[in-house]
Amino acid sequence: MRDRSIMIGMGALLATPVLVWLALPGRFSFPLLLAVCLVPFLHRIQTLGSVWKAWRCGLAVGAVMHVLQLYWIVSVLRQYGGLEWYLATPAMLLLCVYMGLYPAVFAAGFHYLVRSPQAIVPVLGGSALWVGLDWLRSWLFGGFPWMDVGYGLWSYPWLLQGVDLVGHYGLTFIIVMLNIVLLTSLQRTRPVMQRVIGASVCVVIIGSWLSYSAVRGQQVDDLIVSADKAALGIVQGNVEQTRKWSPEERLRTVKDYVRLSDDLLESGPASLVVWPETALPFYPRRDELLQPLIDMVWEKHVSVLSGAPWYEVEEDRTKRLVRYYNGAMLMDPSTSFVVGYYKSHLVPFGEYVPLKKYLPFIAPLVEAAGDFTAGRIDRTLDAGVIRSGVLICYESIFGEIGRAWVKAGANLLINLTNDAWYGKSSAPHQSWAMTVYRAVETRRSLLRSANTGISGYIDPTGAIGIESELFEQWAATVTVPLLDVQTIFVGGGYLFAPLNGMLALLLVFVTAAGTGRRRDNLGEPK
């Protein structure tokens, strides 16, 4: 019997991580598995006899689940961080253990919720708890909201339209709820009516989401038809990460992007041409390498938005302080002026070292990329009727940043990124999938220019208008609508996730207290 229990435990430990890995975006995916991927994990939680055992199960499942999603971090740390495999692998595993803490807390809470005599409590409480923990992970210690389960439906625009109400967390809620309903429906110990009520609530919520998506999708299509349009160019230079920063290759890199842009403009006009993150591999201030770009902007009379490092110098009588930024630079021929945006959400241990004073041994990890200072979202980058909000690199996985740009007046979102770090792993596909949701949440057209791909255009319904292949030179012109509508998500719907967390805490507390009282009444040990 003990051997059988161990086998069941190991099966639950592996089944859910593998099913989630197969369901979520990557080089391949099977999204239908989202409907059942959590059931083995949920079932295992309810069979465990203590909250501590549930917590340990959640930690193990969560850690394995994230190892399958984040394996590519090892190659990034080895190739670009200069770490040997015996240091890079533990670093990745340590991150995955941290990520596993959130499923661990979920498992501990669900251990109580599933014991409620009311079937609706684990259905709503468990879904709310998962969403609340995803939200917590999105900002705690800088935040790393990578591959929430709601992102698994990115390629189905007809399912995404409710995202403009509550963000991608709405789909996460529905997916978790569906898995819990499948679990509770199989519990023979529950009265039939209780199981029917839980399933009915699930049907009503999913039906409401689908009905709203159908109506809202048509409304947005109508807005797109009547909206102002702009022709925009996207350029993907496919410059090797190890080559672009070498002194002898910098001019060649700039000329490559100028050549691709010239060829693009020969095929048709564009109001704005977009280059990727750090497409200019030098500090543009007073650098002669900028001259080919300046010539193109004036000759073609076109605005160019490019990623570029930047620095600002602050001097007084006692000291000289230089601040470095990962920036976006807009060159507009009508103003003869360079304006920009400095990345506001930096990558921990990639662009800066948290608590650097206390962790000096980690500082070498950022030497290749630079130790940057965070900027802030202040004003849009304007070119004619275009008011751009810029998401640099993994800023595209934070719904709050897209929302802030729309509040600042953006009628277009542009994601500049360099995914060359990830190689041909699942990471570029995952990053592209998460970016889709920023367009739907804000109802803005979204252009993405990535050094090695995936580059493309996402319309305000979340439909992919055009996309590139990985690791090839590519350029395209697209005509996009410029919408000014403000969504419920931008106005206040972003509070859905933290409110779920508060509701979950209340339900866990009440059910845990109720479980304790029932044990007392039965004379059972606590």
At 403, the amino acid letter reads R
- What pLDDT score does 83 carry? 75
Residues 245 and 318 placed together within one structural domain of the fold:
yes
Residues 387 and 474 reside in one and the same domain: yes
Q: How confident is the model at residue 312, as a pLDDT?
A: 87
Question: Based on the domain organization, do 61 and 106 belong to the same domain?
Answer: yes
Residues 6+ apart with CB under 8 A from 15: 40, 41
380 & 455 share domain: yes
Task: Report the pLDDT value the prediction gives residue 526, as an integer from 0 to 100.
Answer: 45
- Helix H or strand E segment including 132: helix 120-137
Among 343, 351, 395, 441, the one annotated catalytic: 343
CA geometry: angle 169, 486, 201, nearest 5 deg? 35
**pLDDT the model gives residue 360:** 58
Tell me how crowded residue 524 is: count the other CB atoms within 10 A of its CB.
8
- On whether both 235 and 325 belong to a single domain, the answer is yes
277 is catalytic: yes
- Taking alpha carbons only, the member of 29, 31, 59 closest to residue 44 is 59
134 lies in the same domain as 186: yes
Please list the pLDDT of the chain residue by residue as tens digits (526 residues). 555 656 666 676 789 999 999 999 998 899 999 999 999 999 999 888 899 999 999 999 999 999 999 999 998 888 776 778 888 899 899 999 999 999 999 999 999 999 888 889 999 999 999 999 999 999 998 899 999 999 999 999 999 999 999 999 999 999 999 999 999 887 777 778 888 888 999 999 999 999 999 999 999 999 999 999 999 999 999 988 777 777 778 888 999 999 999 999 999 999 999 999 999 998 887 678 889 999 999 999 999 999 999 988 887 777 888 888 999 999 988 776 677 899 998 887 667 766 565 555 555 555 544 578 889 998 999 999 999 999 999 999 999 999 999 999 999 999 999 998 888 899 999 999 999 999 999 999 999 999 999 999 999 999 999 999 999 999 999 999 999 999 999 999 999 999 999 999 999 999 988 765 555 554 544 4
Is the backbone of residue 479 left (phi > 0), alpha (psi -120 to 50) or beta?
Answer: beta
Q: How far apart are CA 57 and CA 100, in angstroms?
A: 10
Q: Are 461 and 161 in contact (CB under 8 A)?
A: yes
Closest CA to 156 of 30, 19, 257, 337: 30
Residue 162 tokens, joined: 């409710």
Token pair listed for 221: 């299509």
Q: Which amino acid is at 141?
A: F
Catalytic residue chosen out of the listed positions 57, 393, 395, 441? 393
User: Same structural domain for residues 375 and 414?
Assistant: yes
Say which amino acid occupies 203: V
* The pLDDT of residue 339: 78
Is 98 strand, coil or helix? helix
Specify whether 157 is located in the same domain as 241: no
Domain shared by 413 and 513, yes or no: no
> Cis (ω within 30 of 0) for the bond into 180?
no
Would you call 343 a catalytic residue per the annotation?
A: yes
List the catalytic residue out of 277, 351, 395, 441: 277
* Structure token pair of residue 198: 């839980």
Look up the domain containing 341 and give its range. Answer: 229-490
Q: Is 405 left (phi over 0), alpha (psi -120 to 50) or beta?
A: alpha
d(CA 327, CA 317): 28
Contact 413, 401 (CB under 8 A): no
* Same domain, yes or no: 397 and 514: no
Residues 217 and 306 in one domain: no
What whole-number distance in Å separates Cα of residue 180 and Cα of residue 172?
12
328-343 burial, b at 16+ Cβ within 10 Å, e below that, comes to bbbbbbeeeeebbbbb
Report the pLDDT value the prediction gives residue 315, as an integer from 0 to 100: 78
* Residue 214, both tokens: 């159908």
CATH, residue 460: 3.60.110.10
Among the listed residues 524, 483, 488, 37, the one whose alpha carbon sits nearest the alpha carbon of residue 221: 483
Strand 228-236 relative to strand 272-274, pairing: parallel
Number of domains in the chain: 2
Q: Are residues 52 and 170 in the same domain?
A: yes
